[in-house]
Structure 1
Amino acid sequence: MKLGCIADDFTGASDLGNMLARAGMPTTLCIGVPPGGRVPDTDAAVLALKTRSLPVADAVAQSLAALDWLRAQGCTQIYFKYCSTFDSTPKGNIGPVLDALADRLGARRAVVVPAFPGTGRRVFMGHLFVNDTLLSRSGMEDHPLTPMTEPDIRFWLGLQTEARIGHVSAEIVRGGSAAIRAALDAAEAEGLRYLVVDTVDDRDLEAIGAAVADDALVSGGSGLGLGLPANFAAKPGQGVPWQGRRGRAAALAGSCSRMTQQQVARHAMHAPVVRLDPVAVADGRQTVAEVVEWVMAQREDDVPLISSTMPADALAAVQERLGRARSAEVLEVFFGALASALVARGIDRLVVGGGETSGAVVSALGISTARIGPQIAPGVPALAPEDGHFVCTLKSGNFGGPDFFGDAARVLAGGAP
């Protein structure tokens, strides 16, 4: 094994696995740290943790356990993967996890590359944009767990670590990998440990990837995965043919992002949708059993959608009544139990939207490893759990086009992306 990746949530892990596999690097997705032995013969492993919203001590402990396992497999480079919108809080764990990984590896520097141009996430002058809008005005400021109110990644990361933070400008990046490497070397010599690198398009990712070929530790969103496989002699186009499954499908949407709201509204125009009321779920008036029966009563060629998506004002009202932590927990438990019940009833294609929701579903279904299938949308691959009798996809809330749920069900059945 050559490249070891530690992802702070499940959707991000599948996203990164997608990038590496599409670039020709045989990749295995592991849910958590494998309990023992080695994963199947592979060049890269992505360990999907659920640490994004955990307290610092817990996130650091889990990340170091993942690091130790990856090093035992022979990995020569470690990739800490967080969200392309840098989801965290001023007291978040991205900085502390970076510190812990760098200390354990003896790494004097690490790039910070959250950008993913293919999904509209770009960094310029150290500031993160979503399409043409600053991160803090993109809707991420309303995220229920990690509201992003500051677009300057240098400043935000600086709230989480005592390490010195530098910046590699777009002008330097456009000079190519040699220029980037020289800038990184100079910054390291000045005592700067983390370098936020401007990234506008895929050419920048390729140049950055080449520049960090010899670095023990790198960090970023999944976009950086585009630039690393060439360092390991990977060739695009390699992979196992995707067969898919053609049984019944269902979709679960737990994200409250603007994009997911649009996708749910679009899907409701031509497919059955049931909306969850977190308060009704919490007091037992809306149950898993009744939702399962509703799904099974739909036409077999439909893609019924169960959604807890709601606009920011409605979400605020729910959180006011139940509390932020309780409202999230209630829905995660519900979606996990629902996914298990649906698969038990013969649903063999699951489309899941939302990072926390995906984590709950994966845990409930007991998925340990999965093969990366074709890309459904930028950052979103099809997944075939090892030894499973179903296929699925895990989508970050903001990813995918307006017709994502229907498109995903088609690809999971073996259709064209």
Structure 2
Amino acid sequence: MFDVVVVGGGPCGATAAEDLARSGARVALLDREGRIKPCGGAIPPRLMADFDIGEAQLLAKITTARMISPSGRRVDIPIENGFVGMVDRKDFDPFLRARAETAGATRHTGTFLRVDRSDGTAVVYRDKATGEERRLPTRLVIGADGANSRVGKAEVPGAEAIPYVFAYHEIVAAPGPGEYDPDRCDVVYDGRISADFYGWVFPHGSTVSVGMGTEHRSADLKAATADLRRAAGLAGCETLRKEGAPIPLRPLDRWDNGRDVVLAGDAAGVVAPSSGEGIYYAMVAGRAAASAAASCLATGRVADLRLARKLFMREHKTVFRVLASMQNAYYRSDARRERFVSLCHDIDVQRLTFEAYMNKKLVRARPMAHVRIGMKNFAHLTGLVSETYV
């Protein structure tokens, strides 16, 4: 009999399992294993501090972000007083699962099938090694099984209606010296690559993640990525892996079923709008779900499962709202994207953007900078400034 079964062993589920195991709970971690989510792999210094991630997990430290507009304008933004860490989910996720197991979580490998309540609550799964159905009796379930969460669709009202972007990337061998910079991330805002999101070229040391996302189901993701590789000078590089998956666009209004299930991570929709950043927010959501589950186990109050969403949104609601507004304002056309990249020339925008990224909160230390950014943002959106603004 487990206190909690965590379904999904990505950064979210592994974090929830580790936290609960360290608190003394009896935890099972169920994961399919072998599946690698398409992901640029960016993590901020705050994640490393909050979740005790050492630099040994990093494949690269990014010190510059290049924004590329539809017309080919390039804006290089230096990352002052910090960096963007790069990980490969192929290695990072197993590291987190192993750490959860070391903390005391019991590992199970297989595919979630259902929550069965015919004889107490149990998670039923198909064992990967034998193909047989097995049961994990439990008091609570945390669904951390991605944007197409089977747990969510079966157990939490509204989970089946979550909107998402289709993401696709290719991991390629890094080229030699040249135009490619192993310390720079490229973010491409171009309707020819993505009509409503963006493309990316993210260094991973000896490899590179090249990909894009879009909400349009008719888009040819592989063709767009091939175009992006040609533009980045990576067409001739060896392709090592190809991966695709849906990425949720906004947090669900409800994360629990009011009984014995709570969602977290992509299953709860916690990917940052505009940037698509997910690893940090997944791990925060996993920790929030673990806290909610621990509270419910201690008090017996199923209402405590609501704490998962409350804890997460209390800290990140404003950032998500600002990023969603920016995506809605600038991603709708190439003309808007051109203006967005122009806005990135601004020193206030550059500094506050990466201070907020690294610290994961809106920076309040420079109130006049916020005022100036608001005025410049209005000017760009209304066309009061030229697109050639520098």
Bin for the TM-score computed over the shorter chain: under 0.3
Structure showing the higher strand proportion among its residues = 2
TM-score, length basis structure 1: 0.26
